[in-house]
Structure 1
Amino acid sequence: MKPKTLFIVAAIVLLSGFLAASAFYQSQQREQAAQQASVNREALVRMHSPALGNPNAPVVLVEFFDPACETCRAFYPLIKEMMAANPGKIRLVLRYAPFHAGSDQLVAALEAARRQGKYWEAMEALLAAQDDLARNHSVDKERIWAPLAAAGLDLAQLKSDMAAPDIANVIAQDLADAQTLQVRKTPEFFVNGRPLPSFGHAQLQALVAEEIAKASR
C-alpha cells in the first residue's frame, strides 16, 4: 500500500475514533445532565412541602425561605399580591432554609401549627413579630409563644409536636435539598424549576409572567 494511501487510511481511522469518542462523551454529558435535572426536580418539591394556590396551576413558584429572614418577610406580601393578580395560575411551594441561628425553632413551630390546621396563621404571626423574636440574626425561642398564642394556637400541643422526629426530618431534608440546589441565601426562588437570573422582585415578576405566557400559548 502506498504511503499516501496509508496516510489517508490512518487519518480516516483517527477521525472515526475521534468522532466516536466525541459522540460517546456527548452522550455521557446528556445522560449526566438528565440525571442531574431529575435530581433537581425531586429536590425542588417534596410531598411534605407546604403549598398555597391551585394544585394545577401552570406556574409553580418554589421559595426557599427562613422565617427569621427580613427579606423573606418583605417578599411574602408581594408574592401574595402576584398570586391575587393571576388567580389560579401560580402555586406557591415553601421550602425551609433556616440559616439564622435558632430559626429551626420557628420552622418547627410552623410545622407543629400545621398539625392544628393553622399553618398560614402561624406564618403571618411569626413574620409580623419578626423584629421582636429575631434580633441580631438570632432567634429568641421564648419570644415566639406570644404571637402564636394570639394566632389561636394551643401552645401545650404545639410545644409537644415541635419535638416530633418527623418535623426534624422535614428540616433536615429541606436543608439537604437546599444544598443540592446550591441555595446559599434566602429567599431563593425557582419558577417552574428555573432560578432567577438575578435577585429582585422585578426579576421574579418577569420570570413568572414569562412562564404564564408560555402556558397560555
Structure 2
Amino acid sequence: MGLNERLKYAEMKARHQDALRPWYKKPWGIIVIILTIIIFLILTFSSIYVFNRIQQILAGETATMTTEQLKQYIQTINGDGTNYSLGTSTPQATIVEFGDFACPYCQESYQVVNQMESLYKDKIKIVWRDYLRNEDSIDLAMTARCAGEQGKFWEMHDLLFANQENLTTADSERINRLSALAQILELNMTKFNSCLSERKYLNQIKKDYDDGNTLEIIGTPTWFVNNYSFSGSLTEAKFQELISGLIN
C-alpha cells in the first residue's frame, strides 16, 4: 500500500471512529451538556428566588419585623380609624382597598365588594382608602367624602363607579354632574357644595395616598386581606376563596 493510500485509509478510519463516538464525547456534545447544566442551575436558583419572594409577599413580609414595626405596618394599612367602612366592628377578616374612583379595575370590583359585605356582613369589615392615580381624581374622592359627611359615603361610592364613564374627564361640566349625584342622594346641597369647593378633606385624601406609597403600592385596586396584599380586579369567586380560610 502506497503512502497516499495509507493516508487516505487513516483519514477514513479517523472519520469512522468519530462517527461511532457517543455524541456526549464530541466537542459539540460537551458544549450542549455544559449549556444545559448552566440553564438548569439558572432556572433552579430563579425558581427558589421566586418561590421565596412569593412567600414573603403572601406573608406581608412581616416575618422579619419587630413587634413595633409590625404594629406600624398594620396601622399604615388600616389608617387612623377615620376611613369609611362596611361590615362589623369585630371582624374575623378585614379587607382594605386602596382605590381610585376613576380606575376601571376598581369599577369592575365594586359590586363584588357589595356582594361580599352582604354575604359576610357579620364577619368581615371592608375599608375604603383613596389612592389617586392623578389630580383629576381629587374631585371624585372629595365628592364621596363630602357625601360621607352626611352619612351617604357608600351610596356615593356606588354612584361614582356606576357613572364612571361620565366622570373621569375633568371638564367644566363635571362638577355639575357630581352635584347631580348629590341631588339623587338628597344631600343638603349647601353643605355639599361648600365641602366640595373648599376641598375640606384634602389632607385625609393625601394621608391615604402617603400611606399607600409607604406600602409601595404601584396600582389600583390594591387589597389587604388581614394584612396580606393582592393587586388587581378580584372576582366574587376569588374573594370567597380568600375569605373562606379566614372566617368560621
Range of TM-score over shorter length: 0.7 to 0.9
Name the residue aligned to 1:211: 246
| Alpha-carbon distance, 1:130 to partner | 1.1
Matched, 1:42 2:75: yes
Name the residue aligned to 2:94: 60
Q: Are the equivalent residues in 2 in contact too, given 1:58–1:89 (CA < 8 A)?
A: yes
Taking the aligned partners of 1:92 and 1:158, their CA distance within structure 2 comes to: 25
Taking the aligned partners of 2:244 and 2:178, their CA distance within structure 1 comes to: 36
Name the residue aligned to 2:117: 83
Matched, 1:152 2:160: no
Return 5+ residue gaps in structure 2 as ranges: 1-61
| Alpha-carbon distance, 1:196 to partner | 2.4
Q: Does the C-alpha gap of structure 1 residues 166 and 146 become closer, same or farther in structure 2, counting only changes over 3 Å?
A: closer
Taking the aligned partners of 1:198 and 1:123, their CA distance within structure 2 comes to: 18
Q: Does the C-alpha gap of structure 1 residues 128 and 168 become closer, same or farther in structure 2, counting only changes over 3 Å?
A: same
Taking the aligned partners of 2:246 and 2:148, their CA distance within structure 1 comes to: 30
Q: Does the C-alpha gap of structure 1 residues 43 and 163 become closer, same or farther in structure 2, counting only changes over 3 Å?
A: farther
Q: Are the equivalent residues in 2 in contact too, given 1:69–1:100 (CA < 8 A)?
A: no
| Alpha-carbon distance, 1:198 to partner | 7.5
| Alpha-carbon distance, 1:93 to partner | 0.7
Taking the aligned partners of 1:197 and 1:129, their CA distance within structure 2 comes to: 23
Q: Are the equivalent residues in 2 in contact too, given 1:57–1:90 (CA < 8 A)?
A: yes
Q: Does the C-alpha gap of structure 1 residues 166 and 157 become closer, same or farther in structure 2, counting only changes over 3 Å?
A: closer
Matched, 1:195 2:239: no
- The aligned length equals 183
Q: Are the equivalent residues in 2 in contact too, given 1:113–1:119 (CA < 8 A)?
A: yes
| Alpha-carbon distance, 1:31 to partner | 7.0
Q: Percent identity?
A: 26
| Alpha-carbon distance, 1:143 to partner | 2.7
| Alpha-carbon distance, 1:53 to partner | 0.6
TM-align CA RMSD: 2.6
